[in-house]
Structure 1
């Protein structure tokens, strides 16, 4: 679309894994040479890991292209298969004319194929892409395939290519047997700022560019967006070249890259980093609104007229109420105040009202005769009623335990010397014996005899 505007032969930043655009930086050259050595020397298990978009698939395609004359290669793009589907796919990629229904249907012809390849002095490479999708049972079957070997050489090379989380899968206890068989591992890191600029220039030059299309500031903005991941570099550079061609700008500036970055960035609300010394309260859900002072803006004359009418009605009610009702209300108010609000010392006197459970003494008949009719009709206030005074209990003294009991026949016991003066007994009340119960019984007999 924009190739003719920039004078290019083809698009330089395609998402497809084209080996012709492979930029062989220091990291990629080292990875390619290491993996090529492992395959050609029959090292058995190999592992290549890297983050998403670091160029693993492009590097594998270049490796397969370089060793295709000396190796039989089968590439499994998606290992999320069942055991027998995996065996069928391997048989088809290696060109084995067998129908796999059982495991033995696969192992016998596959063993003959490995031995024939060894006689031809060719290596056999089973390449499994997206290895992080492997299940444990299939990983165990792949490990058992490595047992098809000779005493002097490995017949099968198994190459795992996966994302960084595949390293954690291999560290699980159930996969430790497979992990210990891996001989060569390599991890691809993202590009740095200088490598990103070289990567952009290499792809533009491979596409046929005759001048520097991206400025230095624009390439720095590309690195700030992509963080050195080749896939993200291809995405933003392709979009920047398209927008620059629409405005007829042959050199791409930082401003164009920034505009493209805003179009393809996803908004992410990241929480503010907080420490123990920097703790913020959660933001309010509603915006702050200052408190407004309430003013009498809605005051109306109708309200004033209603208030005046109510007050006037209350005044008329007070003026024209009969006197007897006024006296009754006043007396009720005084009584209520005296009962509930009078001082405590007033209630302690003779005029205090009787407490609960007490009965006021009746008014003598002589006093009732002298009451006037107005006093008879007037109810007696609880305040005017005197308190009933309770008599103290009788003083009953019992003799000391050392004294003798008195007999029923009336014999007088011999008194012992009292340690303290004892009150003299009267004729009606003889001195109590030593035992209080016998004394009470004797006293009751004397009372009943009288």
Structure 2
């Protein structure tokens, strides 16, 4: 559905394992090498474990696609069998016909002869049991007996047990002590780290026909996918596939972290409406309510709700229209790359408490590095600093926008200088005190910007600000106080050295019909 829209030849994130889309990170290379080594060297019993969706079955399929004709194998993907069904399955798979043996001893005799013939023909034989954590203790004992088959100090059969970590617990049971001692090698596949997730997505997009995966997913979107998937390839596929579908439905050529979060929330199962502690009333306990005549009120209520919804939709469409047209126009020269890791809270906090107080130089943590850098912390400025206590979901970018009314690269660098304990601008600790110095320390001369929209509710200005900021544009929110109109918020773009440059940019916006309004204004520095 979305392949043509993103210029792809096929869907890159199907859940069905495909050797064409094989991605081998460091952990998966180790897993595949272990299985391959087990076949070549006849290592006998090998254990491969991993959480759901880490790529265990994919590694099995990769092995089976790489082995040559000298190796015969049986792949049991559903081990929920009885002992008799297990023996029948092995017999049919090995002898390629239905054979019913009178006893298990007859089967073992014929099967061992078959394995010896394979060895004489210079062929390996491998039994791969997928989902092995579902094996019963009786079947595990049958597998132990099969692993005993040897000839001239060589294993006649290689057995690979592949399953979830629960398999380790089952093998730790005293009933599996003998089987556990026969395991020659084992490996646990961990989830992908962020680099692995990024490479995994890029690899699958490239195989599907994308020229550059970065043209489809923002870096912040990949961070969000890694965050929500926790590095499990199967969940990565689900989130990435649904994000592409959502982007297609919205007409967005590039996936953002907000879209990834929406897909994650849409797929998450919510708790039951009734909590377990709630008591469901008996019919006799339900009070009879007196009928209320609402005929003349509901019409007015419906009309009021309709007006509110229309206004909200209208404001949202204005914001989306501006954003969509700007994404096709704004030049790279007016962009500031600001990636943000998705947190628990995507919106700017409305209840951030700031404290105006004069902070003495001794109150500030001294930075590491050359002594000449210490001077910026020893300056006695007449203006007040602000301090904010970080709450869950806060980021430095969000807090800066709330304190200063805008956020850009220079402001973030200034904040980091006065908060040297912040090593990564995208991550702060809950309860951490963040110092916000006065912007006069930037020593900036007055600049100009282009006013493109105004909103009375802060929410709409904030939403447009966050969208443009995530797209990498230099955007500002400027609060305005008017005696007649009251308080409203301007959204502006760009930072120009003089009014002429700003006016030229505004004229281009109007000429191309990107926005119905664009005016060059002076950007006052606080």
* TM class, shorter-length: 0.5 to 0.7
2-structure distance, mates of 1:79, 1:284:
41
Residue 262 of structure 1 aligns with which residue? 265
Does structure 2 retain, via aligned residues, the 8 Å contact 1:99–1:105? no
Residue 18 of structure 2 aligns with which residue? 18
Residue 110 of structure 1 aligns with which residue? 111
Q: CA deviation at 1:284?
A: 12
Does structure 2 retain, via aligned residues, the 8 Å contact 1:84–1:102? no
Does structure 2 retain, via aligned residues, the 8 Å contact 1:84–1:101? no
**1:278-357 paired onto structure 2 within 5 Å:** none
Q: Which shows bigger deviation, 19-28 or 105-114? A: 105-114
1:180 paired to 2:165: no
Residues 1:101 and 1:249: Cα distance change in structure 2 (over 3 Å): farther
Residue 46 of structure 1 aligns with which residue? 46
**1:3-14 paired onto structure 2 within 5 Å:** 3-14=3-14
1-structure distance, mates of 2:68, 2:54:
24
Q: CA deviation at 1:20?
A: 1.3
Q: CA deviation at 1:104?
A: 2.8
Residue 236 of structure 2 aligns with which residue? 233
2-structure distance, mates of 1:204, 1:51:
24
Q: CA deviation at 1:96?
A: 4.5
TM-score (norm 2): 0.50
- By percentage of residues, which structure has more strand? 2
TM-score (norm 1): 0.58
2-structure distance, mates of 1:221, 1:25:
20
User: Residue by residue, what CA displacement relative to the aligned partner does 1:17-71 show, whole Å, maximum 9, x if unpaired?
Assistant: 1121111111111111122111211111010000001000001100111114231
What is the total number of aligned residue pairs between the two structures?
272
* SS of aligned partner of 1:94: helix
1:201 paired to 2:190: no
Q: Given the alignment, which residue of 246, 253, 256 partners 2:256? A: 253
2-structure distance, mates of 1:193, 1:63:
26
2-structure distance, mates of 1:225, 1:100:
51
User: Residue by residue, what CA displacement relative to the aligned partner does 1:359-415 show, whole Å, maximum 9, x if unpaired?
Assistant: xxxxxxxxxxxxxxxxxxxxxxxxxxxxxxxxxxxxxxxxxxxxxxxxxxxxxxxxx
User: Residue by residue, what CA displacement relative to the aligned partner does 1:223-267 show, whole Å, maximum 9, x if unpaired?
Assistant: 111000001100011001001111211111112112112211233
Residue 151 of structure 2 aligns with which residue? 150
Residue 165 of structure 2 aligns with which residue? 164
1-structure distance, mates of 2:32, 2:65:
11
Residue 83 of structure 1 aligns with which residue? 83
2-structure distance, mates of 1:91, 1:74:
10
* SS of aligned partner of 2:81: coil
2-structure distance, mates of 1:284, 1:161:
43
Q: CA deviation at 1:107?
A: 1.6
2-structure distance, mates of 1:284, 1:113:
64
* SS of aligned partner of 1:126: strand
1:34 paired to 2:34: yes
Does structure 2 retain, via aligned residues, the 8 Å contact 1:44–1:146? yes
Residue 393 of structure 1 aligns with which residue? none
2-structure distance, mates of 1:95, 1:13:
37
User: Residue by residue, what CA displacement relative to the aligned partner does 1:185-209 show, whole Å, maximum 9, x if unpaired?
Assistant: 0100000111111111110001111
Does structure 2 retain, via aligned residues, the 8 Å contact 1:148–1:156? yes
2-structure distance, mates of 1:196, 1:268:
29
Q: Given the alignment, which residue of 219, 223, 239 partners 1:220? A: 223
* SS of aligned partner of 2:259: helix
1-structure distance, mates of 2:101, 2:56:
31
Does structure 2 retain, via aligned residues, the 8 Å contact 1:169–1:175? yes
User: Residue by residue, what CA displacement relative to the aligned partner does 1:329-361 show, whole Å, maximum 9, x if unpaired?
Assistant: xxxxxxxxxxxxxxxxxxxxxxxxxxxxxxxxx
2-structure distance, mates of 1:254, 1:192:
18
Higher relative contact order (CA 8 A, sep 6+): 1
Q: CA deviation at 1:72?
A: 0.6
1-structure distance, mates of 2:29, 2:96:
34
**1:89-104 paired onto structure 2 within 5 Å:** 89-97=89-97, 98-104=99-105
2-structure distance, mates of 1:14, 1:110:
38
Residue 141 of structure 2 aligns with which residue? 140
User: Residue by residue, what CA displacement relative to the aligned partner does 1:303-346 show, whole Å, maximum 9, x if unpaired?
Assistant: xxxxxxxxxxxxxxxxxxxxxxxxxxxxxxxxxxxxxxxxxxxx
Q: Which runs of 5+ in 1 are unaligned?
A: 270-282, 286-450
Q: CA deviation at 1:124?
A: 0.5
2-structure distance, mates of 1:232, 1:143:
34
Residues 1:99 and 1:5: Cα distance change in structure 2 (over 3 Å): same
2-structure distance, mates of 1:16, 1:199:
16
1-structure distance, mates of 2:175, 2:21:
40
Q: Where does structure 1 differ by over 4 angstroms across 4 or more consecutive aligned residues?
A: none
Does structure 2 retain, via aligned residues, the 8 Å contact 1:84–1:100? no
